[in-house]
């Protein structure tokens, strides 16, 4: 059974009429438990300067790799050889995708589990990533998946999801003690064609508090096998910390830029302290992955060549890095249906999800409080 410790009564903050980027919000460390792994007496790792991630050696290696690749492509073109995958390669990809889907379908746990889609940087596609994660899980597992908004201020989850529900997060927060069946809960969701259920903000709501996170998760964990949280970017805020501490896995989206890489590394290092349970089975594989996406904008050539090398070095090779090809769904403002994703996108995210679900450790009880030192 999941363990839920007592929390103080919830409080409602002001509703921001003019929302700002989460990176500009003040860090709320004062309210943290002094005995926690993340506290005002134990500051977080200093932020990484983006320009320091890519070294001169990385740049030189990238230039050499680029020149070598261009020469190889020129020779193939001269010989009239196509550059697409062979039949054998396509068959290998199909077998690999089926294996990932089987892993996702057959994973079972002794309690409901949660995957946090989280990043210290806004604008890196966390919301579409959360919808993709929950959608692929539900499509493969046949439902039983809830995707929930975990941002302090109202986010864009409901806007990017399919449908226009009448009720959502603000109504559910005030009705958690009245949910006694799956039918009750369904009235606060937006059903997706993937068979996932989305709970976002559709009407006015105040700031989400740690107590709100706890109460909503208690309800969702009763009726869904897996929940996916679109987490807040302000990693040190109490609401975001409640999400982190109660997560069983984390997927960190980033884009191909030095700043985004630095924020991804910052997110992992923060989670090592706020959610140490995610890192206690290193020999068996961690339920944490970084997914590198492409926005379609011009990209730094050096980073394209050395993305995995740089991230593996900065993360000490502990966290798997998965590349996702460009897909317009990440930059679009339209509703995101799973059927709209490109095959390469679905394959990359299926790989990422399979990586984390097979490494989830359900031995840990669910907790929203910091662990005692």
Q: Establish if 145 belongs to a structural domain.
A: yes
SS3 letters for 201-212? CCCCCCCCCHHH
pLDDT at 13: 37
Q: How many domains does the chain have?
A: 1
How far is Cα 228 from Cα 137, in angstroms, rounded to an integer? 10
SS3 36: coil
In this model, does residue 26 exceed pLDDT 90? no
Using a pLDDT cut of 70, give the percent of the chain over it. 76
- DSSP per residue over 144-169, as a string? -EEEEEE-SS--SHHHHSSS--S--H
pLDDT of residue 74: 55
pLDDT above 90 covers a percentage of the chain that reads 61
The owner of tokens 């805020």 is 237
67 CB contacts (<8 Å, ≥6 apart)? none
Residue 309 counted as domain residue: yes
Q: What is the pLDDT of residues 46-75, one digit of tens each?
A: 344 344 565 666 656 655 555 555 555 555
pLDDT exceeds 90 at position 126: yes
- Residue with structure tokens 């302000």? 234
- What CATH number does the domain containing 320 carry? 3.40.50.300
- Give the length of the chain: 373
Q: Do 152 and 213 meet the contact criterion of CB atoms below 8 Å apart?
A: no
Please give, one letter per residue, the 3-state secondary structure of 216-285.
Answer: HHHHHHHHCCEEEEEECCCCCCHHHHHHHHCCCEEEEEEECCHHHHHHHHHHHHHHHHHCHHHHCCHHHC
Q: What is the pLDDT of residue 160?
A: 96
* 6, pLDDT greater than 70: no
Identify which of 5-19, 69-83, 114-128 has the greatest average pLDDT: 114-128
Q: Which residue would you say has higher pLDDT here, 81 or 39?
A: 81
Please tell me which residue, 5 or 171, carries the higher pLDDT value: 171
Chain mean pLDDT for the chain: 83
Domain residue limits at 313: 111-357
Tell whether 50 is covered by a domain. no
Q: In this predicted model, which residue has the larger pLDDT, 26 or 319? A: 319
Q: Please report which confidence band the pLDDT of residue 23 belongs to, taking 50, 70 and 90 as the band edges.
A: very low
- Say if 18 falls within a structural domain: no
Work out the average pLDDT over 74-86. Answer: 59
Please report the pLDDT score of residue 307 as a whole number: 80
Count how many Cα atoms sit within 13 Å of the Cα of residue 156 in the half-sphere of its side chain: 18
Distances (CA, A) of 21 to 12, 127, 155, 264, 311: 20, 14, 11, 17, 25
Question: CB of 290 within 8 A of CB of 322?
Answer: yes
For tokens 């697409």, the residue is 84
Q: Is residue 180 situated within a structural domain?
A: yes
Looking at residue 308, what is its pLDDT? 82
Residue 64 forms part of a structural domain: no
In DSSP terms, which residues pair with 199 in a beta bridge? 148
pLDDT at 148 over 80: yes
* Distance, CA of 271 to CA of 24 (rounded, Å): 20
Q: What is the pLDDT of residue 32?
A: 40
Give the pLDDT confidence of 249-297 residue by residue, as tens digits: 999 999 988 889 999 999 999 999 999 999 987 667 899 999 999 988 8
User: In 3-state terms, what secondary structure has residue 86?
Assistant: coil
Most confident of 130-139, 288-297, 319-328: 130-139
User: Which one is predicted more confidently, 271 or 82?
Assistant: 271
Closest among 27, 36, 7 to 237, alpha carbons compared: 27
Query: How many H-runs (helices) and E-runs (strands) does the chain carry?
Result: 11, 8
**pLDDT greater at residue 97 or residue 32:** 97
pLDDT in tens, 149-189: 999 999 999 999 999 999 999 999 999 999 999 999 999 99
Q: What is the pLDDT of residue 63?
A: 56
Q: Which residue did the predictor score with more confidence, 273 or 310? A: 273
Q: Is 39 helix (H, G, I), strand (E, B) or coil?
A: strand
Note the pLDDT of residue 78: 52
- pTM (two decimals): 0.79
Q: Is 214 exposed, middle or buried (0-12, 13-18, 19+ CB in 10 A)?
A: buried
* 80, burial (CB in 10 Å: exposed 0-12, middle 13-18, buried 19+): exposed
pLDDT at position 306, please? 79
Predicted local confidence at residue 130, as pLDDT: 98
Is the pLDDT score of 298 beyond 90?
Answer: no
What sign results for the dihedral spanned by CA atoms 33, 236, 272, 253? positive
Write down the pLDDT at residue 31.
Answer: 40
Residue 344: what pLDDT?
A: 95
Has residue 195 been placed in a domain?
Answer: yes
- pLDDT over 80 (residue 16): no
- Tens of pLDDT, residue by residue over 218-241, are 999 999 999 999 999 999 999 999
Q: Which residue has the tokens 């998965």?
A: 322
For residues 232 and 121, what is the distance between their CA atoms, to the nearest angstrom? 10
Taking the C-alpha atoms of residue 287 and residue 353, their distance in angstroms, rounded to an integer, is: 9
**210 falls within a domain:** yes
């Amino acid at each position: 059974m999941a363990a839920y410790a007592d929390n103080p009564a919830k409080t409602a903050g002001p509703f921001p009429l003019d929302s700002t980027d989460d990176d500009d919000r003040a860090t709320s460390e004062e309210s943290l438990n002094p005995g926690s792994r993340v506290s005002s007496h134990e500051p977080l790792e200093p932020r990484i300067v983006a320009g320091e991630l890519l070294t001169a050696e990385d740049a030189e290696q990238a230039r050499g790799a680029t020149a070598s690749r261009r020469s190889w492509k020129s020779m193939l073109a001269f010989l009239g050889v196509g550059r697409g995958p062979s039949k054998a390669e396509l068959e290998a990809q199909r077998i690999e995708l089926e294996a990932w889907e089987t892993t996702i379908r057959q994973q079972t746990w002794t309690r409901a589990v949660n995957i946090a889609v989280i990043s210290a940087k806004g604008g890196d596609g966390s919301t579409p990533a959360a919808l993709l994660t929950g959608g692929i899980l539900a499509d493969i597992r046949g439902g039983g998946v809830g995707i929930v908004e975990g941002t302090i201020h109202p986010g864009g989850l409901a806007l990017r999801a399919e449908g226009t529900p009448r009720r959502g997060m603000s109504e559910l927060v005030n009705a958690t003690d009245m949910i006694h069946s799956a039918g009750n809960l369904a009235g606060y969701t937006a059903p997706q064609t993937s068979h996932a259920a989305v709970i976002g903000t559709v009407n006015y709501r105040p700031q989400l508090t740690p107590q709100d996170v706890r109460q909503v998760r208690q309800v969702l964990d009763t009726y869904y096998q897996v929940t996916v949280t679109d987490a807040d970017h302000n990693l040190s805020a109490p609401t975001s910390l409640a999400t982190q501490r109660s997560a069983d896995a984390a997927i960190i989206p980033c884009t191909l830029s030095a700043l985004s890489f630095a924020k991804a590394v910052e997110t992992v290092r923060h989670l090592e302290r706020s959610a140490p349970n995610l890192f206690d089975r290193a020999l068996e594989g961690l339920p944490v992955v970084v997914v590198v996406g492409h926005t379609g904008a011009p990209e730094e050539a050096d980073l394209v060549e050395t993305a995995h090398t740089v991230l593996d070095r900065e993360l000490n090779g502990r966290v798997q890095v998965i590349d996702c090809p460009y897909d317009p769904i990440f930059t679009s403002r339209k509703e995101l249906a799973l059927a709209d994703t490109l095959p390469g996108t679905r394959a990359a995210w299926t790989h990422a999800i399979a990586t984390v679900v097979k490494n989830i450790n359900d031995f840990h009880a669910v907790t929203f409080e910091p662990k005692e030192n």
